[in-house]
Amino acid sequence: MASSAYRYMARSFRATQGDEGAGLRHERLLSWRRDHSVTRLEHPTRLDRARSVGFRAKGGYVVVRVRVRRGGQNKRAIIAGRRPKRKGILRMTLAKSLRRIAEERAQKHYPNLEVLNSYWVGEDGKQKFFEVILVDPVHPEILADPKISWIADPVHKGRVYRGLTSAGKEGRGLRWKGKGAERYRPSRARNRRPERRTQTKVIP
């Protein structure tokens, strides 16, 4: 059975992550570190992955590479006396994933576009690199395509800030279903709010 071209692309990218492709990987990361934290690209680095998350080679699609620093949120040790539990320097994890942060930074850099999706392309000891796909909601080719024209509706404006992308839904716990995930829908904040009690007036 013949494989598609995208399968060969995925296989060649995986080869750069091993020992054989260490030289190419280091050379690529070296050039990426010299670029800006948000860099617009002519073509996706991983075309197979980009197409699987919604990219199409037509007008209205923009691909940018975003650099986000790695690591936890450990703080400097305080001098005042306190037990280790209350020092607040360990286990300070982010509430958002680095991929979600990369999407928000890309949206802030291109406020007239909307984030469609993103994927990982590389990392080193200090940074992670993601490619973010953005869509122009007023482009004629986007409005004429029924598969993507939904993003032009006003309800989808600023969708990345409301956790409506794939990374946002994963961070909100919407990948879980069934037992144990009852309080994740519609959102955790909604389940923390008390229910409104409507008083009914009794007419004598």
Residue 198's pLDDT is what? Answer: 66
Length of the chain: 204
Nearest Cα neighbor of 97 from 28, 160, 17 is 160
pLDDT score recorded for residue 126: 92
- Tens digits of per-residue pLDDT, 19-57? 888 888 889 999 999 999 999 999 999 999 999 999 999
Average pLDDT, consecutive stretches of 10 residues, N- to C-terminus, the chain (204 residues)? 83 86 89 95 94 94 96 77 79 87 97 96 94 97 95 95 94 90 88 76 69
For position 204, what pLDDT does the model report? 66
Model confidence, pTM: 0.85
* Beta-ladder partners of 69: 127
Domains along the sequence of the chain with CATH:
29-172 (3.40.1120.10)
